[in-house]
Amino acid sequence: MDCEILTIGTELVLGYVVNTNAAVMGRTLAAAGIAVRRSTAVSDDVALVQDAVQAALDRTGVVIVSGGLGPTRDDVTRNAVAELLRRPLKRDDAIVEQLRERFRSRGVANMPESNLVQADVPEGATVLPNPLGTAPGLWLEDGERIVVLIPGVPKEMRGLLETEVVPRLKARRGGTGNGERGTVVRSRTLRTTGIGESALADRLGDYEKALGSTVTLAYLPSTAGTELRLTAWNVPESEVDGVLAHAVDAIRPRIEDRVYGEEDQDLAAVVLELLDQRQLKIAVAESCTGGLLGARLAAIPGASRLFKGGVIAYDNEVKLQMLGVSADALAEHGAVSEEVARQMAAGIARALDAGAAIAVTGVAGPDGGSDAKPVGTVWFGVKVGDTVRAFHLVLPGDRTDIQARAAQYALDFLRRMLAGTL
């Protein structure tokens, strides 16, 4: 089955909101064996919405529309599609009562009258229940053609897409008559850090050439590292997991030292798991990252068992008084130096009685650099047990990039020390 995606919202077209809905819809539909042939975004304009829906129906016969189902005047999707398909709107009393009950459950006795428009249903449409919000989805059929309307709120969109839309489209697509459920497009992601995309590609070059067209590799760099996305194309649904598993098993040994997880796995969570296995607790001392490293650790559920806390030692006086960094080290080497990074790590471990520690000190910019220590220079101190090691990098990017990269590298240095690969 072929389909098109249409996302509605002036804020999307102008770039004030990143169009994550289109990305989620594309991945979800492809994984279900529904081929997305085009993705379009248009403003909150009746004529533009109607033109886009009509064009999509003419090309593929199936269009999934996200957004514009809210209660305000700029939410035009419902009316635009009803008019295009010549389906008069009729207020659904059952939906009205559901809306009122939802507001009452939130402590709002009198629902705003503007919300009533969300109970208007085009004639002949199937209502798709939305337990996560006030706007139900709508499924409209025009002969063999299908228009699906779902809310633009990301959480609501995902819920309806997965529980209502995809199952209906898969049922409509049908099988082959021999038990096969059709072909799908599905991906798995390996998360790497501490290695650039070109270096990663060099390691995998020969293997990538041998993959052919069944499985492709995509390199997705960011401040956190490079994600390696393996995508299996048009593989029978019963075989796709095995195909991807075989590809991952072949790739991992070539880059194992740089892979820290798969899919959405967070490096901080990986580090905490390794610390738990070693029965170690961690403390952090941060200068240039200003608390970002601690925030990464604290964001992981259950971190309180292992993360003791930290000190933001931005000023040298804090390094001296709270971390025990020596005045001689600061005077002779400067705050951004191997010796200070080592002393910061040892000092925070001692102060908070932690078996592991990370310290970060650097020049995040845009000012403060020198010929000897240009902007992006960062020293890391990492302590595990009685061992303290220091690492030095010159990181690219602006201030925000350098801070994000420094926090990621700091976690990875500790990960690799704990795993015995560094």
Q: What is the pLDDT of residues 253-285, one digit of tens each?
A: 999 999 999 999 999 999 999 999 999 999 999
The region of weakest confidence among 107-111, 274-278, 374-378 is: 107-111
Domain final position from 262, 295, 322 = 262
CB 192 within 8 A of CB 203: no
Minimum mean pLDDT range among 145-149, 232-236, 328-332: 232-236
CA 13 to chain CA centroid, nearest Å: 21
Q: In what order do the strands lie in the sheet with 2-8?
A: 35-42, 2-8, 62-66, 145-150, 137-142, 126-128
Averaged over 32-37, what is the pLDDT? Answer: 89
Confidence of residue 32 (pLDDT cuts 50, 70, 90): confident
Angle, to 10 degrees, between the axis of helix 338-352 and the axis of helix 316-323? 40
Give dist(CA 349, CA 359) in Å, integer: 10
Tell me whether residue 420 is exposed, middle or buried, using C-beta atoms within 10 angstroms of its C-beta: 0 to 12, 13 to 18, 19 or more.
Answer: exposed
User: For the whole model, what pTM was predicted?
Assistant: 0.78
Burial of 173 (0-12, 13-18, 19+ CB in 10 A): middle
Instruction: Examine the domain organization and report whether 90 and 191 are in the same domain.
Output: no
User: 362, exposed or middle or buried, with CB in 10 Å at 0-12, 13-18, 19+?
Assistant: buried
State the DSSP H helix or E strand holding residue 187, giving kind and residue range, or none if neither: strand 183-192
CATH of the domain at 197: 3.30.70.2860
What is the model's pLDDT at position 185?
A: 85
Judgement on whether residues 32 and 102 belong to the same structural domain of the protein: yes
Q: Does the structure show a pLDDT above 80 at 177?
A: no
What pLDDT, on the 0 to 100 scale, is given for residue 179? 36
Residue 299 within a domain: yes
284 and 356 both lie in a single domain: yes
The residue out of 132, 150, 173 marking a domain boundary is: 173
Angle at 297 between CA 194 and CA 306, to 5 degrees: 115
Same domain, yes or no: 28 and 113: yes
**Domain span at residue 244?**
183-262
pLDDT tens digits for 178-201?
334 578 888 999 999 999 899 999
For residue 182, give the nearest of 121, 263, 245, 240 by alpha carbon: 240
Question: Is 178 domain-assigned?
Answer: no
Output the pLDDT for position 392.
97
User: What is the DSSP secondary structure assignment for residue 116, as one 8-state letter?
Assistant: G
The residue-averaged pLDDT of 119-123 equals 97
Pair (311, 369) in one structural domain: yes
Nearest to 36 by CA among 49, 28, 26: 26
Sheet holding 377-384, edge to edge: 307-312, 282-286, 356-362, 377-384, 387-394
Query: Is 321 among the domain residues?
Result: yes
Does residue 169 sit in the same domain as residue 31? yes
List of residues 6+ apart from 1 with CB closer than 8 A: 33, 34, 35, 62, 169, 172, 173
